[in-house]
Structure 1
Amino acid sequence: MAGVSSPAMAAAASNAGALGSIAVGAADADAAALMIGAVRASTGRPFNVNLFCHRPARVRPEAESDWIELFRSQFTALGASPPVRLREIYRSFLVDDEMLGMLVDLKPAIVSFHFGLPGRHALDALRDTGAYLIATATSPAEAREIESAGVDAIVAQGWEAGGHRGCFDPDAPDARVGMAELTAQLVREVNVPVIAAGGIMDGAGIAKVLELGAAAAQLGTAFVGCAESFADTGYRQALCEAGVRGTIMTRVISGRPARCLANRFTAMDALVPAAAVPDYPRAYDLGKALNAAAAARGDFGFGAQWAGESAALARSLPTAALVEALAVELKEAQQ
């Protein structure tokens, strides 16, 4: 939930009895340290720090030039110009020694990985701090790789989940396994705790995944509408219209498959072959520039409004109130 999760939301979730999480994948080490410090200033409870472990982007000049030209007319209509060239706006944790050093110094209690796994050196260094390590899997094969690396728990991310697919290779075939099936498979096949993720919006949903053998449930979209979320006005309005809009899995916004509320940007997905989209996060450089140009005119149709298939069930509550409601619903479902 990079860009949406705030220190205040992470702290409020932890204070209310859940495990709050702060996403630092879009930040450099200094900014991430400030975010971790802000969470610690508001809670003495454990919280998770989430990192992106994507392969560093390939620079494909011709594809990137074509991509810029494809969107030039949209920029022109908004009175803006597209980027002259695309940049790698996020540095992968795979090659970010400064981020690793900062985490070793600050010693967060839980560290989680998305898009893959860091190298053995980083895993050992974080483990030596006492951190509990978690990684996302979208398939049994990825789960087995995570378990072999000695990671403590696995997030089973179903196809219905909002935001970026955690798949290790975005260009490999994707079986698109749903959350319930993947959770049940991993519970049988791995010997570490499994955390279910994808489409879980209430306490009844949490109860169902616990019955499948999951050790916990991870909720993201459910918290986008919370008061402490960094989601902008357009994102919040789109979330309120989720029942009409629906969601789509697309890579046109960022360069990697991600589930988003349907909008003007996602409509491009049907017109563009996957191979034409520049690598993540270079494609996202243009996506963010286009959204900024549109938002400056009050048009939020190009936002990265990440959301899962059950987004219509989202509630606009303070984080603590949502956690309390989830706990009550879970208790009722288990009676």
Structure 2
Amino acid sequence: MTILRELLKVEYPVIQAPMAGVQDSALTIAVSKAGGLGSLPCAMLTGDKILEEVARIRSATDRPFNLNFFCHTLPPEDPEKEAAWRQSLQPYYEELGLDLNDDAGGASRRPFDEQTADLVAELKPAVVSFHFGLPAPDLLAYIKSSGVKVLASATTVAEALWLEERGADAIIAQGLEAGGHRGHFLSGDLGLHMGTFALLPQIVSRVKIPVIAAGGIASAAGVEAARKLGAVAAQVGTAYLLCTETKTSAIHRAALQSEQASHTEITNVFSGRPARGIANRLIREQGPLSTRVPDFPNAAGALAPLRSEAEKCGKGDFSPLWAGQNTTGCEEIAAGEMTLKLAGAQQTS
């Protein structure tokens, strides 16, 4: 626990995974107040929105929190691939009575840039975490000079070594069981990815910096198992999805509490990049991994009208129902209580 407290200044070895689309600062606050490390996903937020959310966090607690960003490279426009993707979705548009040329916009995902680095340097959060690698060396040095600790996801030993060499303060070992987007960045070969408890000890044995386990951990026993294999903490996402402070939709909540949750797939059909979610109609009929999908993050625009219309009818056929392989820890309880359960701590009144 000494390493954990020096690194993250938290009481318990539990980090709430940043989950864009299903949370805002309310979840971050609840987890941090309980003694874990609350996280705020920022890749889909404007600078003004980040400022607003951080102000809310700091008005509610003085405990550490994490701001999470993506480090992807925006792809060039590819009208031919976009047209082919829309063509493959045409039957769904016709079924729902929609115009194929409609575009509800989809959620944008911004890579970390100079403007965002300035914002981080101004806000000085205790922790910043990155998915899909690290920012450019000058931007990383800039934010580290402001005193923040940097975490980054690795899906292979090679990625962990790369992150350590380039200045990460700790590595998140993301196992194949984890829900949401895969954090890989050196290779797109999913065959290289391992389960959490295979990946974790291999990374621990090869790097000198602290390692955090992620993927399939949904209980105090899981957190303890990760620590016995050398992790200083566990990053948990799926178990928080039903908590009262999340914004998980009714459709997503229902899926998590049904037999449907026992079947998750790694798919690229929602965003253009592999991510794990509960199998639904779009995954079954188009994927799970499709070569027709535009590169990340450009797949979402054409899906947005379909998702919106289906959800109006109470269906999640075109919705990304992100979840890891282990949904057994999901409970409709307060996030603070969930954090204490994961830490194996007793709740005090």
* Range of TM-score over shorter length: over 0.9
Deviations 1:134-191, CA, capped at 9 Å, x for gaps:
0000001111110011110000000011000000156345412110111100100001
Deviation at 1:26, TM superposition (A): 1.1
2:74 alignment counterpart: 56
Matches of 1:36 and 1:72, distance apart in 2: 41
1:74 alignment counterpart: 92
Matches of 2:167 and 2:106, distance apart in 1: 34
- SS for the counterpart of 1:33 is helix
Matches of 2:96 and 2:140, distance apart in 1: 45
Are the equivalent residues in 2 in contact too, given 1:161–1:197 (CA < 8 A)? Answer: yes
2:162 alignment counterpart: 145
Are the equivalent residues in 1 in contact too, given 2:243–2:334 (CA < 8 A)? Answer: yes
Say if 1:121 and 1:82 are closer, same or farther in 2 by CA, change over 3 A.
farther
Match 1:92 to one of 111, 114, 138: 111
More off after superposition, 55-64 vs 149-158? 55-64
Deviations 1:239-276, CA, capped at 9 Å, x for gaps:
10156641111111110000001111211344x76332
1:295 alignment counterpart: 311
Say if 1:182 and 1:131 are closer, same or farther in 2 by CA, change over 3 A.
same
Are the equivalent residues in 2 in contact too, given 1:243–1:312 (CA < 8 A)? Answer: no
List runs of 5+ in structure 2 lacking aligned partners. Answer: 1-18
Matches of 2:234 and 2:190, distance apart in 1: 26
Matched residue type, 1:67: W
Matches of 1:315 and 1:88, distance apart in 2: 28
Matched residue type, 1:56: L
User: Normalising to structure 2: TM-score of the pair?
Assistant: 0.89
Say if 1:321 and 1:83 are closer, same or farther in 2 by CA, change over 3 A.
farther
Are the equivalent residues in 2 in contact too, given 1:137–1:166 (CA < 8 A)? Answer: yes
Deviations 1:2-50, CA, capped at 9 Å, x for gaps:
1112201100100001100010111122222222222222111000000
Deviations 1:207-247, CA, capped at 9 Å, x for gaps:
00000010110000011111111111000001101566411
Are the equivalent residues in 1 in contact too, given 2:340–2:346 (CA < 8 A)? Answer: no
1:315 alignment counterpart: 331
Deviation at 1:83, TM superposition (A): 4.8
2:143 alignment counterpart: 126
Matches of 2:255 and 2:198, distance apart in 1: 29
Q: State the identity %.
A: 38
Aligned pairs, number: 328
Are the equivalent residues in 1 in contact too, given 2:218–2:328 (CA < 8 A)? Answer: no
Are the equivalent residues in 2 in contact too, given 1:250–1:269 (CA < 8 A)? Answer: no
- SS for the counterpart of 1:256 is coil
Are the equivalent residues in 2 in contact too, given 1:83–1:289 (CA < 8 A)? Answer: no
- SS for the counterpart of 1:18 is coil
- SS for the counterpart of 2:212 is strand
Are the equivalent residues in 2 in contact too, given 1:206–1:330 (CA < 8 A)? Answer: no
- SS for the counterpart of 1:249 is strand
Matched residue type, 2:327: A
User: Normalising to structure 1: TM-score of the pair?
Assistant: 0.92
Are the equivalent residues in 1 in contact too, given 2:216–2:325 (CA < 8 A)? Answer: yes
- SS for the counterpart of 1:311 is coil
Deviation at 1:121, TM superposition (A): 1.3
Deviations 1:272-296, CA, capped at 9 Å, x for gaps:
7633211011002223332112112
Matches of 1:245 and 1:219, distance apart in 2: 18
Matches of 1:318 and 1:87, distance apart in 2: 30
- When the two chains are superposed, the root-mean-square deviation of aligned CA atoms in Å is 2.0
Deviations 1:297-327, CA, capped at 9 Å, x for gaps:
3222221110000013311211011112222
Say if 1:295 and 1:195 are closer, same or farther in 2 by CA, change over 3 A.
same
1:284 alignment counterpart: 300
2:275 alignment counterpart: 258
The yes-or-no answer on 1:190 pairing with 2:226 is no
1:216 alignment counterpart: 233
2:224 alignment counterpart: 207
Matches of 2:290 and 2:252, distance apart in 1: 25
1:15 alignment counterpart: 33
Are the equivalent residues in 2 in contact too, given 1:170–1:256 (CA < 8 A)? Answer: no
Are the equivalent residues in 2 in contact too, given 1:154–1:193 (CA < 8 A)? Answer: yes
- SS for the counterpart of 1:267 is helix
Matches of 1:251 and 1:329, distance apart in 2: 38
Match 1:3 to one of 15, 21, 25: 21
